[in-house]
Amino acid sequence: MTRCGCLLSRSLSGAKRTYLFAPHMSAFDPKRTHRPPFDLTISRYDPHRRGAVMKRRDVICLLGGVVAYNFAAHAQQGQRIPRIAVLQPFATDTPERVRIEAFIQELQRLGWTDGRNLQVEYRWEIRDLRKAATELVALSPSVILVSTTPAVSAMQQATKTIPIVFTQVADPVSGGFVASLAKPGGNMTGFTVFDYDIGAKWLELLKEIAPNLRRVGVIRDPTSTTSIGQLAAVQSAARFLRMEISPLGGQDVNDIERTVSEFAQGSNGGLISVAVPLTVNNRNRIIALAARLRLPAMYPFRSWVADGGLIGYGPDPIEQHRQAAGYVDRILKGEKPTDLPVQGATKFELAINLQTAKALGLSVPPTLIARADVVIE
């Protein structure tokens, strides 16, 4: 290779690029510029300075390298950095943020880093999911991560073309999100949180830890299809256990406090909290309410037990979000959602808080403790 070729090669592949932008700038901000990796100012030729002899062909090669560098830089600027949109129907300070942190960490392990070769846009909303979904779709992301049935429904109305990976959805087929679990069809795929039948398991475990229960109130959102399905499963199991079921909750935390307080006026009562945004966003209030009213309560995730709840049974949502990162990675690399089957949760955890049990005057059976994955003493 000629000397000119060497200079040109170094100008294209050996240069270190320094980006000039403020931390708050978007990756697509037109104010982002490249500073060339070398000083383009050619000093006046000084015949008396040692080593200052520059041949005409060197000057031509250097200028050619400058032109080639500028061309490569502009070509690089024209490349579209993939963008991921994330819609979570939870408050920004919710403990559920750890799930998204696990999702981002797994993406990094797979080679995607926010701010380097990827952009991530977030919307943490509680009330207006349709507005949040519309805003994210307007950004034309490469793929969207969305959690819970209400949020997925809002995103489905916002786009029929952008690939979507969902998590924490109980029944995506009945919800109209996919054609089948094996062949989703359309632009959606993802991970189910659990079947509605888990409601029966919740009731059985609550009865086992508090044998004297005769009445159980189910805290749910009456507008959520997930709540309706889980409540029906609890009611079906209650017939065999000869227990009375009372739907509780409503539209907001005030409805929860009012209905639970009224329910607590009776005797031999307990609670089950289903897994919907209304309960997740108010879980600390629900746990405190159950403790104050001395009501044994079953919760859908082990994290609630770590926060003081009596007993919890459900899937590991953190692991599910790591799996979701794997699907996002495959979509970014060219695969289609319709070719990625919907997967169910495979890891379920039973957690018991012995301190809460003691405060409620409950003696936890040793057989139940032996089956628990997590025991808080």
Q: Where are the domains of the chain?
A: 3-78, 83-194+317-339, 198-316+348-376
**What value does the mean pLDDT take over residues 276-298?**
94
Q: Is the pTM of this model over 0.75?
A: no
What does the alpha-carbon distance between residue 46 and residue 115 come to, in Å, rounded to a whole number?
45
Give the per-residue pLDDT at 281: 86
**What value does the mean pLDDT take over residues 40-63?**
42
Residue scoring higher pLDDT (75 or 148): 148
Query: Is it the case that residue 306 has pLDDT exceeding 90?
Result: yes
Q: May I ask the CATH architecture of the domain 198-316+348-376?
A: 3-Layer(aba) Sandwich (3.40)
Determine what percent of the chain is predicted with pLDDT higher than 70: 78
Instruction: Give the residue among 201, 141, 151, 143 at the shortest CA–CA distance from 175.
Output: 151
Do residues 121 and 132 make contact, with C-beta atoms less than 8 angstroms apart?
no
What does the alpha-carbon distance between residue 133 and residue 70 come to, in Å, rounded to a whole number?
39
Query: Is it the case that residue 59 has pLDDT exceeding 50?
Result: no
Do 83-194+317-339 and 198-316+348-376 fold alike per CATH?
Answer: yes
Q: Could you tell me which residues come within 8 angstroms of residue 93 by beta carbon, excluding any fewer than 6 positions away?
A: none
- pLDDT per residue over 335-345, tens digit each? 999 999 999 98
Q: Which residues pair with 120 in a beta bridge?
A: 84
Identify the weakest region by mean pLDDT among 3-12, 192-201, 294-303: 3-12
Query: Is it the case that residue 87 has pLDDT exceeding 90?
Result: yes
Query: Is it the case that residue 113 has pLDDT exceeding 60?
Result: yes
| Domain 83-194+317-339: homologous superfamily in CATH | Response regulator (3.40.50.2300)
The token pair that represents 310 in the structure block = 């009596």
Quote the DSSP letter at residue 44.
P
**What value does the mean pLDDT take over residues 131-136?**
94
| Burial per residue of 21-51, b for 16 or more beta-carbon CB atoms within 10 angstroms, e otherwise | eeeeeebeeeeeebeeeeeeeeeeeeeeeee
Determine what percent of the chain is predicted with pLDDT higher than 90: 63
Q: State whether the Cα torsion 276-278-283-288 is positive or negative.
A: negative
Angle of helix 3-13 versus helix 56-78 axis, rounded to 10 = 30
- pLDDT grade for 78, boundaries at 50, 70 and 90: low
Query: Is it the case that residue 290 has pLDDT exceeding 80?
Result: yes
Instruction: Give the residue among 263, 259, 274, 190 at the shortest CA–CA distance from 227.
Output: 274
Query: Chain centroid to CA 308: how far?
Result: 24
**What value does the mean pLDDT take over residues 178-200?**
92
Give the per-residue pLDDT at 212: 94
Residue scoring higher pLDDT (101 or 66): 101
Query: Is it the case that residue 10 has pLDDT exceeding 50?
Result: no
Query: Is it the case that residue 141 has pLDDT exceeding 80?
Result: yes
Token pair 């997930």 is found at 226
Mean pLDDT, the chain, as a whole number?
82
